[in-house]
A and B are shown apart, each in its own frame.
Chain A
Amino acid sequence: MSEYIYEYDMPPGRYVWMGNTAMVEGALAAGCRFFAGYPITPQNEVPERMSQRLPQVGGRFIQMEDEIGSISAVVGAALGGLKAMTSTSGPGFSLMQETMSWAAAIEVPIVVGEVQRTGPGAGIVSLPHHSDIIQAHYGGNGEYQVIAFAPATSQELFDLTIEAFNAAETWRTPTIIFSDSWLGHIHEEVKVPPLDELKKRVIPRKKVAYDAEGKPLKRQQYLPFTMYDKKAGEYKISITPNITTEYFPEWLPAVTHTPQSIPNEFQESSEIMVTNINNKILANEEKIVKIDEYFTDDADVALVCYGLPYRTALRSVKMARADGMKAGLFRLITVWPFAKKAVRELSQKVKKILVPEINIGQIVIWVEAAVEDGTEVKPIPAISRLHEPKELYNEIKEALN
């Protein structure tokens, strides 16, 4: 299975990296060997470093004419057999939506770094705002699923970018790394593990598909797209078609197609395709979703958060615990697919849920839809700024009164 494991040249050890740098190094460690992008603040350090680093590891970097060109080049590179990514911010992310929808339709594993800034419009380029959480899921036309990670430290931007590439590889759907202008520019410690340890964490791009007995599949046996195996009761996701191999279909239709890559206009085909590309993710929610919980076992009130607010919330919960308050913290490491089941289980344990977000409240709607037993849910919005620990501490105190 080691046909596609790249060497990564960063010596193991401790580094002081800004968030954007850590994202690049995580991508290179994951085997990303192609990047196409267009400048936009606050993500500029990502393409800048990629342009220096990719040639050093045998990869290719292109600055494209805009974000539409960038993501299209990334889809092309992925079909050419490379792990590929782009990164952007707010307005550029909007331009990429049409192609994200297309990538989801033809099940191409691509990774997009979204270093969010204040919106709407051109907004403020230097302030953090988690304003594109819903857009990431619903921005493109048609119905499809994305996988989205929300790191909160430089170390996580390294580690979770590797996870994002693994998720894209496994589930063959657009995968997003949510950062923001604050996190992208924070300077922190990043530990790079030894190469053999990293290799164990990386899911390689496969060129050859195998059957259940481990025999290489013939061209006629290979399905380019996901199919539901009724007998096994699961979705069969084959390896990504690679233009350099015999598996590559005669055409790769952006229009509705069968798992055999035959385009047609039958309602049945649409139903099968839409169901497959959505349910391969939704039915595997528990395998894809990553969460973390702190002090939730005996908590009366829990904070649900993702990205930087998790760090503020952790401090606030520690402060509250020190003062004898039964507060807990539930962290969404992946925002999409939404951890419905885990949030439902949380709501059975606690009486109140607070949702601090750096926006007017985007995930709180999903939390409200997931809770049971009449658990009270309250949004705590912060616009273009980090919450302060004292602020969340006071919210916890008020919720417990």
Chain B
Amino acid sequence: MTRTEIKIAGYGGQGVITLSKMIAAAAILHQEGITATQTEAYGAQARGGACWAEVVISDEEMIDYPRAIVPVDVLMVFSEEAARNYKGEVKKDGIAIFDPLTVRPRKFKVKAKRYAVPANQIATEELKMPVTQNAIMFGAFIGITGLIDEESGRQCVRDFVPSKFIDINLKAYERGLEIGKKLKEEESS
């Protein structure tokens, strides 16, 4: 009976909800033996408003309590407001992932292990397509946490994006995966 509690927060339009749905779909549809529950801030928030989503991944037949239990195992923040609001809600031995372009490292002091993933920078400068930052973050999440198999993640990306953009998003996913795994290695060496 193992549960992993994940919280993702930022502004609407940054891909918070999409990322949470990708993690949930990868766990439910593409990987045997685990399931997931995704919940999200639901209301009048549109682009620009504060926004959050939660995912619980578990190997149980049915996930009982559907919300992420605080302190969470994995916290991903994409705005300084989110970093400020949720920095106290991650476990000491948990994982905190952020994008240094939207959250200044000194503004995000947590006891958990921190991983800076420059997804926005890579998406704009290397891949010349800002929306791919989601696939980069998704890859980095898998590289860092190891919660989902790399191949399951790949299948999920194929499922999620319009057919025209599969190649570029898969490229972004691989870049994210690479960064995530590298950050993980650096930390253990």
Determine if A187 and B65 form an interchain contact, defined as CB atoms under 8 angstroms apart. Answer: no
A397 within 8 A of B: no
B39 to A, closest residue via Cβ: A186
A356 within 8 A of B: no
CA–CA, A193 to B27, complex, Å? 20
A125 CB contacts on chain B under 8 angstroms: 43
B21 CB contacts on chain A under 8 angstroms: 16, 187
B39 CB contacts on chain A under 8 angstroms: 182, 185-187
Q: A16-B21, A126-B43, A187-B24 are in contact. Are A386 and B38 (CB under 8 A)?
A: no
Binary CB contact string for chain A from 360 to 401 against chain B (1 if under 8 A, 0 otherwise): 000000000000000000000000001011000000000000
Interface residue stretch chosen among B29-37, B100-108, B121-129, B177-185: B29-37
B30 to A, closest residue via Cβ: A14
Interface residue stretch chosen among A74-82, A220-228, A248-256, A307-315: A307-315
B40 CB contacts on chain A under 8 angstroms: 185
Determine if A311 and B29 form an interchain contact, defined as CB atoms under 8 angstroms apart. Answer: no
Determine if A311 and B35 form an interchain contact, defined as CB atoms under 8 angstroms apart. Answer: no
B38 CB contacts on chain A under 8 angstroms: 16, 186-188
CA–CA, A308 to B29, complex, Å? 24
A161 within 8 A of B: no
Determine if B28 and A312 form an interchain contact, defined as CB atoms under 8 angstroms apart. Answer: no
Min distance, Cβ B101 to any Cβ of chain A, angstroms: 28
| Segment 18-76 of B: residues with Cβ below 8 Å from A | 21, 24-25, 28-29, 35-40, 42-44, 62-67, 69
B53 to A, closest residue via Cβ: A187
A314 CB contacts on chain B under 8 angstroms: 64-65
A322 to B, closest residue via Cβ: B1
Q: A188-B38, A189-B35 are in contact. Are A315 and B65 (CB under 8 A)?
A: yes
Q: A14-B28, A185-B40 are in contact. Are A308 and B35 (CB under 8 A)?
A: no
CA–CA, A16 to B22, complex, Å? 10
CA–CA, A320 to B38, complex, Å? 26
Determine if B62 and A153 form an interchain contact, defined as CB atoms under 8 angstroms apart. Answer: yes
Binary CB contact string for chain A from 105 to 137 against chain B (1 if under 8 A, 0 otherwise): 000000000000000000001100000000000
Residue picked from B24, B62, B66, most chain A C-beta under 10 Å: B66
Binary CB contact string for chain A from 173 to 188 against chain B (1 if under 8 A, 0 otherwise): 0000000011001111
A318 within 8 A of B: yes
A15 CB contacts on chain B under 8 angstroms: 29
Binary CB contact string for chain A from 187 to 199 against chain B (1 if under 8 A, 0 otherwise): 1110000000000
A42 within 8 A of B: yes
Binary CB contact string for chain A from 66 to 100 against chain B (1 if under 8 A, 0 otherwise): 00000000000000000000000000000000000
CA–CA, A263 to B44, complex, Å? 50
A16 CB contacts on chain B under 8 angstroms: 21, 24-25, 28-29, 38
CA–CA, A388 to B64, complex, Å? 12
B42 CB contacts on chain A under 8 angstroms: 42, 126, 181-182, 185
Q: A126-B44, A189-B36 are in contact. Are A308 and B66 (CB under 8 A)?
A: yes
Residue picked from B25, B40, B63, most chain A C-beta under 10 Å: B63
B159 to A, closest residue via Cβ: A16
Determine if A311 and B65 form an interchain contact, defined as CB atoms under 8 angstroms apart. Answer: yes
Min distance, Cβ A378 to any Cβ of chain B, angstroms: 21
B36 CB contacts on chain A under 8 angstroms: 188-189
Q: A42-B42, A187-B21 are in contact. Are A311 and B69 (CB under 8 A)?
A: no
A155 CB contacts on chain B under 8 angstroms: 62
| Segment 286-318 of A: residues with Cβ below 8 Å from B | 308, 311-312, 314-315, 318
B66 CB contacts on chain A under 8 angstroms: 153, 182, 186, 188, 308, 311, 386
- 30 pairs of residues in contact across A and B, judged by CB atoms under 8 Å: A14-B28, A14-B29, A16-B21, A16-B25, A126-B43, A126-B44, A153-B66, A181-B42, A185-B40, A185-B42, A186-B66, A187-B21, A187-B24, A187-B37, A187-B38, A187-B39, A188-B24, A188-B35, A188-B36, A188-B66, A189-B35, A189-B36, A311-B64, A312-B64, A312-B65, A314-B64, A315-B64, A318-B64, A389-B65, A389-B69
Q: B residues bordering A, Cβ < 8 Å?
A: 21, 24-25, 28-29, 35-40, 42-44, 62-67, 69
8 new A-B contacts at CB < 8 Å, known A125-B43, A186-B66, A187-B39 = A185-B40, A187-B37, A188-B36, A188-B37, A188-B63, A189-B36, A311-B64, A311-B66
